[in-house]
Structure 1
């Protein structure tokens, strides 16, 4: 049995929820439909002509890309031009395209964590904070003999985390009253008769990202036909999310040696380096993609060296004057995501019993050649 397109994307959005994307970004379904079963998924850094040919050759039904295919508004769709021809071939071959961009960059366990891991960084934190997750308090009233069942269902759905402590809740016993009206089918009591039941008031914290999941889990585990519960936002700071990462190498090393490590980690033939090659570095900032505008964040974080792509000339001059080193492995270093996303989706699909196959694109898409 092959997975439905929506099922594949639900798995993808569990890894990289769309609400983490920057406001200016273009994420989600960009071409085609998800209202079909998917036999094969191709994961690519970007959708170029050669990637489209690869998808056709592999008979893929869906391409999951990091760089959005449609980023700027289309003023026309003419097949005489490259973009129009590409979209025409995708539609003719019924290949859908879904983009996960800054949401995959920002999320825990996503692009920038993979890059930090490839560089061997520890004590990793976001480089440039983008938002803090909202927290909610969920309060529900449960008959005593169902307390543990409902509580565990909420915990398993993601409730009850405060910092590094899990399974956090407050429970207090009291008496609930209700009068079942005509047409009801009460779990406890009879129609037309006021009931007084020993109940447990359960309170727990719910992060914004799993709020619906926790509520649904609670309702499913609860025995009552009509469940009494409240959920409201609280003025507490949840997890902080952001672009890039900053961490430390296990030991300090010369900039030249670390530059060689960056080349190997991201499988690139060359890197551009700013700074004294003999200088010792240990605290490292890394950001996938175009990172010129975040050099100041790396400086504020106290990084010795900043690893990112597309560093422009004047930014490099300013960094040199400010005393921070830069290693630019190119924008294409982000292709580290192909194998990671493909492995994640394949594992989730296998666990669910689907036969859908996920491939990491093996087509080179870097427009630059280093001579």
Structure 2
């Protein structure tokens, strides 16, 4: 560990993150950047998380992190109080009392190149990546935008790819489910880290064979398939964004010299998944 005088400060690390994920790239409704923290406080250790929740805050304190870099903003929606008897207030007070800064890179990290969907695509072995929805105003060849489209190393059918995705993505109770003909052969796949049903039409226009994202809803998925859209794979939200943490942590180590730790705490809210075995189902009386 370096001496305190040589350690980067919160301001140093935040400035570097802002250069990699400019706040101007975020959606107008988003809230990104530094949430709290002393600019002059030294940063020896960073914890990278998808969600800043009580469990990941306690993990940050346990590993003695000076900064949490989170994907999802803690204060996305306005609050009128951060009193310690409120959910977000408790988190904020806990962080301030322990000199732990908090930074968020959300939709600005989604559109970055490399960004959240690049890390997801890499987990699935996709090649020759391009944006699913190119960023408006991005320079030619910048590769910025939402989602990614890539080629599979070898064609496989939907059933096989669903099993493959389950082995390559972080394990959650939700697992991976697919919609479409299980025997459909896939060659090109679109992915989107996080909620992705807003881009179903974009996946259809792109002519991909399958589209993988999180938080697909019944009616949009059903109507999409009825219109002969690409096969669909639905994955837990946390699992689609967790791969990005490895990338940002590796970059932070190189860029700042601080130790960067990735949180593997599954913060997906769904914790139980049961499926009845029809062979063991008892007949009703």
Structure 2 partner of 1:342 = 249
Query: Any idea what SS the aligned residue of 1:97 has?
Result: strand
- Report the alpha carbon displacement of residue 101 of structure 1 after superposing the two structures with TM: 0.7
Residue from 178, 202, 205 that aligns with 1:297: 202
Indicate whether 1:59 and 2:64 are aligned: yes
Structure 1 partner of 2:236 = 330
Structure 1 partner of 2:170 = 267
Question: Retained in 1: the 8 A contact 2:74–2:88?
Answer: no
* More contact order relative to length (CA 8 Å, sep ≥ 6): 1
Query: Any idea what SS the aligned residue of 1:123 has?
Result: strand
Q: In the TM superposition, what whole-angstrom CA distance separates every residue of 1:99-127 from its partner, at most 9, and x where no partner exists?
A: 00111111111111111111111221111
- Equivalent pairs counted in the alignment come to 264
Structure 2 partner of 1:97 = 102
Distance 1:335 1:29 in 2: 20
- TM-score for the superposition, normalised by structure 1: 0.68
Distance 2:160 2:141 in 1: 38
Structure 2 partner of 1:177 = none
Query: Any idea what SS the aligned residue of 1:132 has?
Result: coil
- Report the alpha carbon displacement of residue 332 of structure 1 after superposing the two structures with TM: 0.9
| Greater strand share, structure number | 1
Q: In the TM superposition, what whole-angstrom CA distance separates every residue of 1:196-239 from its partner, at most 9, and x where no partner exists?
A: xxxxxxxxxxxxxxxxxxxxxxxxxxxxxxxxxxxxxxxxx573
Question: Retained in 2: the 8 A contact 1:47–1:69?
Answer: yes
Question: Retained in 2: the 8 A contact 1:319–1:326?
Answer: no
Distance 1:364 1:124 in 2: 27
Query: Any idea what SS the aligned residue of 1:22 has?
Result: coil
Structure 2 partner of 1:361 = 263
Question: Retained in 2: the 8 A contact 1:262–1:329?
Answer: no
Structure 2 partner of 1:17 = 22
Q: Which runs of 4+ in 1 moved over 4 A?
A: none
Unpaired runs of 5+ in structure 2? 1-5, 275-285
